[in-house]
Structure 1
């Protein structure tokens, strides 16, 4: 089998209907910094672009482009996910989101991650998550009670994960996946 050159995920670009409103939300609520902005002539006409990052090593992690039609029959974005440094950050964002123009706030456990999902002001589904030390077969989505203390929540999450097919320490799963990838 031919080896594929190494690659890693860098950024996502999304079309938006109201670029100013989306820039405000992503900078004010999610803490992104605008790294660049400008207009560009494209096959779809002249579009505005805003580049955003939370990592000084990355020029942009999210790029927004104007021109999204307001009358799409459904949102083509399944989700955009952001890894948090720790669960305290997930919990703090959950609290902040209660006072923002977002919908469908949904805390869940995936077994391998503890997440809060929500829709941004244009209906894109976002996920804020922290990894757990466990692997379980996916997909898995179990509603999570954010009223529990951190200790109670982690104990519940581990007990829930242990009941799922394929439960194992995530390092064991990563080692097996690494071997599989090396064989490609």
Structure 2
């Protein structure tokens, strides 16, 4: 993209100009302090700015990645209504994903689902309001390789994935099993989405 003087504001283009990045997510809650404390622990984050009804939380060089707005009249989450399914956070390696899992577990934050989707190895959690959070590591070295898997017969048969035990995966890493082998999805055939509303 050129300088402002070089931009043709009348050019409709072949598609809408894409954003450069996804900046942040804002959550409304009736459990303000509990939610703020959870996200600080969950993300290893810090508060960029906060008061008694709003908190801007970051864990990297962005000024905030999650904002929490406290509105006391907010009702409980309904699992049968439309809306955001989950927010996903990527880790640089399988070991980092599992270290964060262990550190969260030590702070009383346990996962609700561990699944190898194929493109990612993922561990899901719920925040105090019941919002779903995915922590993941990419299983392929390139986007093309991930897309190739997503266009395979295996993914067509099972786009959900295969469950795994995080503690067993940690033990295999300690035993020296290579990451590439641990990230390879075990094919178990067709399956439906699990009912995470009860977890």
Query: TM-score normalised to the size of structure 1?
Result: 0.70
CA contact (8 A) 1:79 1:124 kept: yes
Among 7, 13, 30, the alignment partner of 2:43 is 30
Q: Structure 1, residues 14-55: CA drift from partner, whole Å, max 9, x if none?
A: 11221111111211332111011247xxxxxxxx21101111
On the 8 A contact 1:145/1:153 being kept in 2, the answer is: no
Which digits, 9 at most, give the CA deviation of each residue in 1:67-122, with x for residues without a partner?
26233433743111111122122111222333445465221111111111011222
2:164 is equivalent to residue 144 of structure 1: yes
Is residue 14 of structure 1 aligned with residue 27 of structure 2? yes
| Per-residue CA distance 1:132-180 (angstroms, 9 max, x = gap) | 114222633210232131326641432537x99xxxxxxxxxxxxxxxx
Instruction: Rate the CA distance shift 1:160–1:26 in 2: closer, same or farther, 3 A.
Output: same
Query: Do 1:101 and 1:121's aligned partners in 2 also have CA atoms closer than 8 Å?
Result: no
What pairs with 1:2-151 in structure 2 (closer than 5 Å)?
2-7=14-19, 8-38=21-51, 48-56=53-61, 58-67=62-71, 69-74=74-79, 76-102=83-109, 104-133=111-140, 134-135=145-146, 136-137=149-150, 139-146=159-166, 147-148=168-169, 149-150=172-173, 151=177
Distance in 1 separating the partners of 2:24 and 2:120: 21
Local SS of the residue matching 2:112: strand
Contact 1:36 1:50 survives alignment (8 Å): yes
Equivalent position SS for 2:102:
helix
Q: Matched residues in 2 for 1:70 and 1:36: separation?
A: 25
C-alpha RMSD of the superposition: 2.7
Matched with 1:158 is 184
- How many residue pairs get aligned? The number is 154
Instruction: Compute the TM-score of the two structures, normalised by the length of structure 2.
Output: 0.66
The runs of 5 or more residues in structure 2 that have no matched partner are 1-12, 190-199
